[in-house]
Amino acid sequence: METRRVADILKNGQPEETVIIKGWVRTKRELKGFAFTEVNDGSSLAGLQVVLDNEIPDYDTIIKKVNTGASIEVAGKLVPSQGKGQKIELKANSVIIYGEADLETYPLQKKRHSFEFLRTISHLRSRTNTLGAVFRVRNACATAIHQFFQEKGFMWIHSPIITASDCEGAGELFTVTNLNLNNLPKNDAGEVDYSQDFFGKPAYLTVSGQLQAEVMAMAFQNVYTFGPTFRAENSNTSRHLAEFWMVEPEMAFCDLEGDQNLAEEFLKYIFKYVLETCPEDMEFFNKWINKTVLATADNIINNEFARITYTKAVELLEKADKKFEFPVEWGIDLQSEHERYLAEELFKKPVIVSNYPKEIKAFYMRLDEGEKTVSAMDVLAPNIGEIIGGSQREERLDVLERRIQETGMESDDLWWYLDLRRYGTVPHAGFGLGFERVVQFMTGMTNIRDVIPFPRTPLNAEF
RNA sequence: UCCUCGGUAGCUCAGCGGUAGAGCGGUCGGCUGUUAACCGAUUGGUCGUAGGUUCGAAUCCCACCCGGGGAGCCA
């Protein structure tokens, strides 16, 4: 007989003759001669209440082993519940114990734990309500991303995880090598001789798939990457990971406005999708984690994002009735406090800021008329800050070469990137989005380490 | 990396120079419909690590390690 998922049983909500479920015991309430237990199989936030009484075979031995954390299989009858907390419950006919859990050492209790503590038991924390809900939402979010792009005819492309050049210059890189670190080959100058390394030159974990996405967009028009990205930056914040997932769409024949339109449509789509597919989990976050989660989602879905230029943003900040730690003037990079003011206090919704000074942005962003600004845009979200960063790319070979020089990049490494402008260049644009930040924003979780199953941060790679 | 707060029982914390505490959890007992069940009893500690001050240090000082929050960098 087929094993049923608890989510389906609860959704159906009807009595049934015989049902089998498999899962992990969350709680047991033992009375004289019978017991209630809640079994969770990961399919939903709510578990199924199972009633065990001394008519089942081996009741006395089984009841001692049905403890929080134990894995069991229950066969029985779905009946209307006499209690108040649930519509139906499973009256067990028989129970199989797969694996016991020693209550004296099992670290998860029937009460709330701090997220800090749960991080020290990442191999078990997914069995808690909150982390369970987070990872179901994370999955829904990933599904929504693929569905959004696939529906629009974007091709999912697989950018390399190992790259041999630090093209974007974004942050510190992790080196990839198979040289013997205890006996490094040296050249005449006493430096490490990478010609003897696996790739014959230094190699790194990717910090962005953007340049490769541009390559593929020059053949397939609309593409996106969705995969892991690495930064060896020593950042200790609630918004940074050394290993995180990034989504990077790239569109040929597209300008900055089209880029902004896609970003807005994209965020609306995934919020809508998650609300529709994980209503129970979202209610949970709204109740226990952050009471503005549902209102925020509603705000995203039903309002147009504000769109202002950097120049306008600076104007607004200069006349803001608020004292900033970092003073505002045209030319500065916007600080966290400035971004927060715009998104949280002034507009109270996501704000797209565009056309930043060229000095504070990357070399590949398209130079605007007047050559003071570039066609960049950031989507700033309340409580999270920058959630999306994108731009129209510089498609003009001469301008791009000039910008590479100005920003001190090594054009020899970029020969293939420049070739895209030599052969059939087109205006194109794209953006990057930190996947975990979207999950954070959506769930209201304050620390990014709690929205990825196995967080990688400085000094932390245990699991 | 910087600023700041913290590290005491399995968990969450109180104690802040003079015998190491509470709640929860665990264990045992009670209870025929529980819902983080309830009631009673009980168990549980190198006070992050190493130095120093003191008659005496969980408590004061110093260094280091680890964690939270904020900042920088960014996604």
Q: CB of A85 under 7 A from strand B? A: yes
Measured CA A386 to C1' B74 distance, in angstroms: 9
First to last CA, chain A: 36
Q: pLDDT tens-digit profile of A297-310?
A: 999 999 999 999 99
Beta carbon of A459 within 7 Å of strand B? yes
In chain A, residues 34 through 53 whose Cβ sits under 7 angstroms from any atom of nucleic acid strand B: 34, 36, 49, 51
Output the furthest CA–CA distance in chain A (Å, rounded). 85
A244 Cβ within 7 A of any nucleic strand B atom: yes
Mean pLDDT, range A432-460, rounded to an integer: 95
Distance A297 CA to B23 C1' (A): 37
**CA gap A102, A67 in Å, rounded:** 8
Q: What is the 3-state secondary structure (H, E, C) of chain A?
A: CCECCHHHHHHHCCCEEEEEEEEEEEEEEEECCEEEEEEECCCCCCCEEEEEECCCCCHHHHHHHCCCCCEEEEEEEEEECCCCCCCEEEEEEEEEEEECCCCCCCCCCCCCCCHHHHHCCCCCHHHCHHHHHHHHHHHHHHHHHHHHHHHCCCEECCCCCEECCCCCCCCCCCEECCCCCCCCCECCCCCECHHHCCCCCCEEECCCCHHHHHHHHHHHCEEEEEEEEECCCCCCCCCCCCEEEEEEEEEECCCHHHHHHHHHHHHHHHHHHHHHHCHHHHHHHHHHCCCCHHHHHHHHHHCCCEEEEHHHHHHHHHCCCCCCCCCCCCCCCCCHHHHHHHHHHHCCCCEEEEEEEHHHCCCCECECCCCCEEEEEEEEECCCEEEEEEEEECCCHHHHHHHHHHCCCCCCCCHHHHHHHHCCCCCEEEEEEEHHHHHHHHHCCCCHHHCCCCCCECCECCC
With a pLDDT cut of 90, the percent of chain A lying above it is 87
Instruction: Using the C1' atom of nucleotide B24, identify the protein residue whose alpha carbon is closest.
Output: A111
- A42 CA to B7 C1' in angstroms comes to 34
pLDDT higher than 70, residue A167: no
- Give A112-155 pLDDT, tens digit per residue: 899 999 999 999 999 999 999 999 999 999 999 999 999 999 99
Q: Among all strands, which nt has the closest C1' to A118 (CA)? A: B11
A245 nearest nt, CA–C1': B75
Estimate in Å the CA A82 to C1' B34 gap, whole number: 10
* C-beta within 7 A of nucleic chain B, residues 222-241 of A: 231, 233-241
Residues 265-324 of A with CB under 7 A from strand B: none
Can you tell me the mean pLDDT for A427-431? Answer: 98
Which pair of structure tokens corresponds to residue A401? 């070469």
> Domains of chain A by range and CATH?
6-106 (2.40.50.140), 129-161+218-450 (3.30.930.10)
CA A282, C1' B41: Å apart?
Answer: 42
A63: CB within 7 A of chain B nucleic strand: no
Region A47-70: what's the mean pLDDT? 93
Residue A14 has pLDDT above 70, yes or no: yes
Label residue A36 by pLDDT band (50, 70, 90): very high
Nearest nt to A79, CA vs C1'? B33
pLDDT at A19 over 60: yes
A37: nearest nucleotide, CA–C1' criterion:
B34
Task: Kindly determine whether the C-beta of residue A171 is less than 7 Å away from any atom of nucleic acid strand B.
Answer: yes
| Residue A169: predicted pLDDT | 55
At residue A166, does pLDDT exceed 80?
no
Q: Which nucleotides of B are covered by protein (CB under 7 A)?
A: 1-2, 10-13, 24-27, 30-37, 66-75
Q: Is the CB of A387 under 7 A from strand B?
A: yes
Mean pLDDT for A374-378 is 97
Chain A 128..147 CB hits on strand B (< 7 A):
none
For the segment A253-274, the average pLDDT, to the nearest whole number, is: 97
Can you tell me the ipTM of this complex? 0.94
pLDDT at A170: 56
Residue nearest to nucleotide B11 (CA to C1'): A113
**Per-residue pLDDT at A382:** 84
Interatomic distance A52 CA / B30 C1' (Å): 20
Which nucleotide has its C1' atom closest to residue A243's CA? B75
Flag residues 323-342 of A with CB < 7 Å from strand B: 326, 333, 335-337, 340
A112 is near strand B: CB distance < 7 Å? yes
